Structure 1
Amino acid sequence: MKTFSILVLFFSFSLAAQVSTLPLWPEDEMPNKQKSDEKEDINQDDITWITKVQKPTLEVYLPPKASANGQAVLVCPGGGYAGLAYDWEGTEIAKYLNSKGIAAGVLKYRLPGSASVKESFKAPLQDAQRGIRILRANALDWNIDKNKVGVMGFSAGGHLASTLGTHYQEAFYSAIDSTDSEEIRPNFMVLVYPVISMDSKITHQGSHDNLLGKKPTAALEKQFSNELQVTENTPPVFLIHAGDDDVVPVENSLRMYTSLREHGVPTEMHIYPKGGHGFSLANEIYYLQSWSDRLTDWLRNLN
């Protein structure tokens, strides 16, 4: 009986998801960094809210090997480029993906307003590019197919995810080790109530100002209006938005969808009439709960 109990315990651990947290950058080799007295702040009230990120990380969630389907997702929490809704739009999403056999890496990325960052708009993308490379560099050990690695982002994290998927032609930092030989283009994008455009008519002004400053050049606004950066080589996209979103107008997703269609990029979009902004998995909004099922169907179809 004792032997049986030990075996059951071992079997339970072997089936459990594995979680580990890795630094994005080797010590003293983080690009775009400057010295400051700023300290990272983590507030844990209703959600875990992180600001002033000093040490960006990738928190990796791996499903049991027996259920792993080879897909992996870099998860970018939102927060208006002012903070990160780290559990609400990060770790809870990773757990959901694991339940579907998908590996996930939650990105704790640097924020553009940090005193420890030199060039504001570059830091989040540098961290995202490094994050997806880490997933691919560890593909063999983590039961990941390098050709099935995508990115998922919520709100401003959706802007970061869509930036990663439309600005992959070059890295925003110089290579520092073998990890940086990996591809930065995601194989697919999942954009949930995303900020897409920097156009003042439809953008989320807080995300715009935090990322680019209050008076950026027209060229910089165009560069980070990601509906304008779509090409025929942009990876397939899954879009979710609520029509009554009064924080990030639904026109962000509509413009992105139109641009993707015009360039022949495979795209699926779901617009719900109600839901507002920031609903995450929508566990308390019955008519929105099924959006994650639609995502699962779409991800399976990619295979």
Structure 2
Amino acid sequence: MKNIIFGILLLMAITVQSQDTIMPLWPDGKIPNQLKMDEKEIHKNEGILIISKVQKPTIEVYLPSQRNATGEAMLIFPGGGYGVLAYDWEGTDIAKLLNSKGIAGIVVKYRLPSNASQKDKHFVPLMDAQRAMRLVRSHAKAYQIDPKKIGIIGFSAGGHLASTLGTHFDEKVYDSVDDADNESARPDFMALGYPVITFGINTHGGSRKNLIGENPPVDLVDHFSNEKQVSPQTPPTFLVHATDDTGVPVENSLLFYRALKDNGVSVTMHIYPKGGHGFSLARNDMHLRGWTERMFEWIESLR
């Protein structure tokens, strides 16, 4: 009987230890630019978990086993055209892959631009991205990660948000709410999968419309065309894209590559002939699925 009880207690301890941490980004009542409305968050699972109308942004933390941990972490920004989040396809699945390589994976459920529940909606995703990076850095000791080895990865519109964080990390877009906001919002490295980069020619129309509106002023277009916002302080970057991507043209990655190169920022890019848009891990494509190993090799080169 004692052995049975001990086994049950041990199983419970393992289960608790392995549970993921879901943490709100903002303290109660302090979500910036949020309007009090009746809008409700929506979760739909039709092969992919799709989240829309995010009201309470969070981070979901996946930690590798201590013996495998490298001390690195990556914040993950799922895509969805700034209208929805492909939360497992480009979020939790990516976190689990990172864990297999000893890297903490932290999925950011960021707010999507909304005229109904937000003011100045075009700054809201960046607010959540900056806050997520600062919050993770402030918890680095608890998560047993190195605060100087925290990168980001984003896909499609999530790639736009990631590249916005990588180029606008020191832009003041919200007032400090607690001590976590004393931390830097700059990522230490950045990986972008088929990212929306530009809001000019070759943009993704849906992402642009959802973030900055139907007929935005030129200065706002330029502000969120991240190839125009690169500086020598932009973090080292890994880019992956497919040539036949008709959703987000490959020119987005090419523009960002050129801007990084011109500013002396270390950049690695892998362009595949086929793959289309939104391929995530590309597990069914023997050639394309190799992009994840190329990324891990790149991360190792930064150590």
Map of 2:245 onto structure 1: 245
Q: Provide the secondary structure at the position in 1 that maps to 2:121.
A: coil
Map of 1:273 onto structure 2: 273
Q: Provide the secondary structure at the position in 1 that maps to 2:160.
A: helix
1:139-288 correspondence to structure 2 within 5 Å: 139-199=140-200, 201-288=201-288
Distance 1:65 1:38, change over 3 A: same
Contact 1:63 1:103 in 2 (8 A): yes
Matched, 1:83 2:84: yes
1:34-73 correspondence to structure 2 within 5 Å: 34-73=35-74
Q: How much has 1:113 moved relative to structure 2?
A: 2.4
Amino acid corresponding to residue 180 of structure 2 in structure 1: T
Q: Provide the secondary structure at the position in 2 that maps to 1:238.
A: strand
Contact 1:112 1:120 in 2 (8 A): yes
Q: How much has 1:160 moved relative to structure 2?
A: 0.0
Gaps of 5+ in 2: none
Gaps of 5+ in 1: none
Q: How much has 1:115 moved relative to structure 2?
A: 1.6
Alignment TM-score, normalising by the size of structure 1: 0.95
Q: Distance in 2 between matches of 1:17 and 1:264?
A: 41
Contact 1:18 1:62 in 2 (8 A): no
Contact 1:16 1:63 in 2 (8 A): no
Q: Provide the secondary structure at the position in 2 that maps to 1:160.
A: helix
Identity of aligned residues (%): 52
Amino acid corresponding to residue 65 of structure 1 in structure 2: Q
Q: How much has 1:171 moved relative to structure 2?
A: 3.0
Q: Provide the secondary structure at the position in 1 that maps to 2:277.
A: coil
Amino acid corresponding to residue 251 of structure 2 in structure 1: E
Map of 1:294 onto structure 2: 294
Distance 1:258 1:8, change over 3 A: farther
1:97-176 correspondence to structure 2 within 5 Å: 97-113=98-114, 115-176=116-177
Q: Distance in 1 between matches of 2:65 and 2:12?
A: 11
Q: Provide the secondary structure at the position in 1 that maps to 2:74.
A: strand
Q: Deviations over 1:254-279 (max 9, x none)?
A: 00001111111000000000000000
**Matched positions, count:** 302
Alignment TM-score, normalising by the size of structure 2: 0.95
Q: How much has 1:5 moved relative to structure 2?
A: 8.0
Distance 1:15 1:24, change over 3 A: closer
Range moving further from structure 2, 12-21 or 131-140: 12-21
RMSD (Å) for aligned C-alpha atoms: 2.0
Amino acid corresponding to residue 101 of structure 2 in structure 1: K
Q: Provide the secondary structure at the position in 2 that maps to 1:141.
A: helix
Q: Distance in 2 between matches of 1:206 and 1:46?
A: 22
Contact 1:195 1:203 in 2 (8 A): yes
Q: Deviations over 1:81-113 (max 9, x none)?
A: 000000000000000001111112101111112
Q: Distance in 2 between matches of 1:283 and 1:237?
A: 23
Shift >6 Å, 4+ stretches: none
Q: How much has 1:141 moved relative to structure 2?
A: 0.9
Distance 1:11 1:27, change over 3 A: closer
Amino acid corresponding to residue 101 of structure 1 in structure 2: G
Q: Distance in 2 between matches of 1:16 and 1:286?
A: 35
